[in-house]
Amino acid sequence: MPLESTAATLRISEIFFSLQGEAARIGLPSVFIRLTGCPLRCAWCDTAYAFTGGETLTLAEILARARACPTRHVCVTGGEPLAQKNCLALLTLLCDQGYDAALETSGALDIGEVDARVARILDLKTPSSGEVDKIRWENLPLLTRRDEIKIVIADRADYDWATARIREHELPARCGVLFSPVQGRQDATELAEWILADGLDVRFQIQLHKQLWGNMQGK
């Protein structure tokens, strides 16, 4: 990326260093770049503070803050990071700088222009989220073995819906599939037992960062 391109800006909610709490990189020290803004309003969203506020930073300033963290793993998240057009340039810049970059996205916006070096972790919104109609189904054929789908489960109806969708679209053959319980709404052990009973080819996960620090901003 040309040096002058790093003058482009993004609205940033927070940049922090922590352990990755989800997906294949769980447990890895990582720098998190959380962008401000999201077009969705999921009923159980745990990062509503990122809907507004934050500060405007250039890509060069964002990169400098990432470099201050002792890791080559970086996660660009939100909100919905793809709601800001310069997110694509940031992802490419991070890859050009040698970072192992991941993108966490709601799945409501087109992922087709995301740099191929980036691991895309795409949410598939369940009925309890209130945003199931926002799913961009056209994203699914774009996923590769480098990517992952995360499905957040709040109740049995969500689980049955998710099971039907992963079978309908043969998602485990396309990429990793993650099932997560909504904290305080779906019992984690019960969800694990459902997965085992049905022999699903998915990965069960509990958010590690919440086990360590609770739902704390900046963790």
Per-residue pLDDT 10s for the chain (219 aa) are: 554 468 899 999 999 999 998 888 888 999 999 999 999 999 999 899 999 999 999 999 999 999 999 999 999 999 999 999 999 999 999 999 999 999 999 999 999 999 999 999 999 999 999 999 999 999 999 999 999 999 999 999 999 999 999 999 999 999 999 999 998 899 999 999 999 999 999 999 997 766 766 766 765
Residue 118 lies in a domain: yes
Residue 86 lies in a domain: yes
Residue 218 lies in a domain: no
Residue 170 lies in a domain: yes
Domain count of the fold of the chain: 1
Q: In Å, how far from its chain's centre is CA 202?
A: 17
- Nearest-angstrom CA–CA distance, 141 and 112: 10
For residue 56, the surrounding DSSP H or E stretch is strand 55-58
Residue 219 lies in a domain: no
Domain span at residue 15 reads 3-213
The residues facing 203 across adjacent strands are 178
Tens-digit pLDDT profile for residues 112-128? 999 999 999 999 999 99
- Residue 26 DSSP SS3: coil
Query: Residue 38's domain is classified under what CATH number?
Result: 3.20.20.70
Measuring CA to CA, how many Å separate 13 from each of 32, 48, 80, 112? 10, 11, 11, 25
Residue 63 lies in a domain: yes
Tens-digit pLDDT profile for residues 67-115? 999 999 999 999 999 999 999 999 999 999 999 999 999 999 999 999 9
Residue 157 lies in a domain: yes
Residue 107 lies in a domain: yes
Phi and psi dihedrals of 136, rounded to 5?
A: -95, 95
**Closest alpha carbon to 110 in 77, 79, 143, 65:** 143
